[in-house]
Structure 1
Amino acid sequence: MPVKPSVQPHLHLLAKAPLPGQAKTRLIPCLGPEGAAQAHATMVRHCVATACQALGSQHVTLWTSLEHQHPLFMELQTHYGIALAAQQQGDVGMRVRHALNSTQGASMVMGTDCPSITVAMLRRCSSALENVPVVILPAEDGGYGLIGTHNDCPSLFEDIPWGTEQVLKVTRQRLAALGLDAAFPDTMWDIDRPEDWQRWQQALKHANSM
């Protein structure tokens, strides 16, 4: 049966502090340690702005790691009025599940290396959760950039081959095993490699020239 939440979903963003040598390390060959950290900070700012525009800052929490009091996080909290929280220890699945379960009702988790996720995409995901128990934004590389749920679903996050092209395939298998319907409103791509960063820079130039 369709699930009808009474309130808008809460969106949880996961972000590392932009520390040189520890953030977006696969961009270091083209940007250097400082440049890769700055690129990461740019993506975090972009994703937080998108989230707040789509759902309202009162529905956004930024989950931090590496350095919880980093100036970037303080800046974003001051500017947007978002909540900050320290990420759970453990693998990706443990951190995502902990964030999803930290608020009442429907909630969604998104990475901050996904600037291809737009305001419209987030709103479509929010609307989709009114009718299905799970929403996912698949990534071009076989993973996903966002997942939303109403209830705790441990098997969606345990023993998943995180960081591989099998993530979405295995997640779909788990959904089928649980008998859960899911919506996949759009496809996104994240920024891991130098060519991904260049792709986003080109997309920004195109958007600014229109």
Structure 2
Amino acid sequence: MKTDALLIFTRNAELGKVKTRLAKTIGNEKALVVYKDLLLHTMTETHSIDCDKFVFYDSGIVEDDIWSREFYQKKLQVNGDLGQRMHDAFEILFEMGYQNCIIVGSDLFDLKAIIIETAFKKLINHDVAIGPAEDGGYYLLGLKKGHPAIFQNKDWGKDSVFKATMKDLKGQKVCLLDTLNDIDTFADLEQSSYDIAVLNLTSITKRD
């Protein structure tokens, strides 16, 4: 067991249940393709990071998928809103004895291993590491101990999350990482490094 742990929150890749805002523009099938590509990107960028890694599924643990147990331990998210689920995931790993825990989602083509590795290094001299997202949320959160307040009373999915979280962290030594673009809408996808041509889009109706 290492002292550092990476938590990766994922949604089970099921048609009509992932990237629903993106699906309003490109349809459920292509939205599922994009999400599977996001999962693959996240796995590729994280599998060589020198830490213990945990994948937290939202609705059911899947054995035969890209997350090999050679590199990843598998767990199930608890019930509740995003804040409750993240809080409980952190608590599980802190109780296991990990000293530095970082959580990331699976929604960023801009996420790179070096960003996560930098966050772990920053936690040596900081209480918290956080990566702001362009939509007003955050894509990475690194903690050395539990902070229940930052997971409570948030409008998850709204543009107020990052600011509200920083308010809760007042008095803590916080490292701010680069601001990145997570993928919620077609506009987000266009601004990312993703090759949209693979989707073979002939026509779209923008309703974001």
TM-score tier, shorter chain, comes to 0.7 to 0.9
The structure richer in helix per residue is 1
* Distance (whole Å) between structure 1 residues aligned to residue 113 and residue 135 of structure 2: 21
Seq. identity, %:
24
State the secondary structure of the residue aligned to 1:102. Answer: helix
Q: Which amino acid aligns with 2:139?
A: G
Q: List alignment gaps of at least 5 residues for structure 1.
A: 1-6, 206-210
The 5 Å alignment of 1:43-122 reads: 43-56=38-51, 59-69=52-62, 74-78=64-68, 81-103=71-93, 104-122=98-116
Match in the other structure for 1:4: none
Q: TM-score, normalised by structure 2?
A: 0.85
CA deviation after TM superposition for structure 1 residue 173, in Å: 0.8
Q: Indicate how the Cα distance of structure 1 residues 187 and 55 shifts in structure 2: closer, same or farther if over 3 A, else same.
A: farther
Match in the other structure for 2:203: none
Match in the other structure for 1:167: 161
Q: Indicate how the Cα distance of structure 1 residues 201 and 182 shifts in structure 2: closer, same or farther if over 3 A, else same.
A: closer
Match in the other structure for 2:204: none
* Distance (whole Å) between structure 2 residues aligned to residue 65 and residue 151 of structure 1: 23
The answer to whether 1:32 aligns with 2:27 is yes
Q: List alignment gaps of at least 5 residues for structure 2.
A: 198-208
**Native 8 Å contact 1:8 1:126 kept in 2:** no
**Native 8 Å contact 1:12 1:61 kept in 2:** yes
Q: TM-score, normalised by structure 1?
A: 0.84
Q: Which amino acid aligns with 1:162?
A: W
User: In angstroms, what is the RMSD of aligned CA positions?
Assistant: 2.0
* Distance (whole Å) between structure 2 residues aligned to residue 198 and residue 136 of structure 1: 25
**Native 8 Å contact 1:136 1:144 kept in 2:** yes
State the secondary structure of the residue aligned to 2:78. Answer: coil
Equivalent of residue 179 in structure 2, options 171, 174, 187: 187
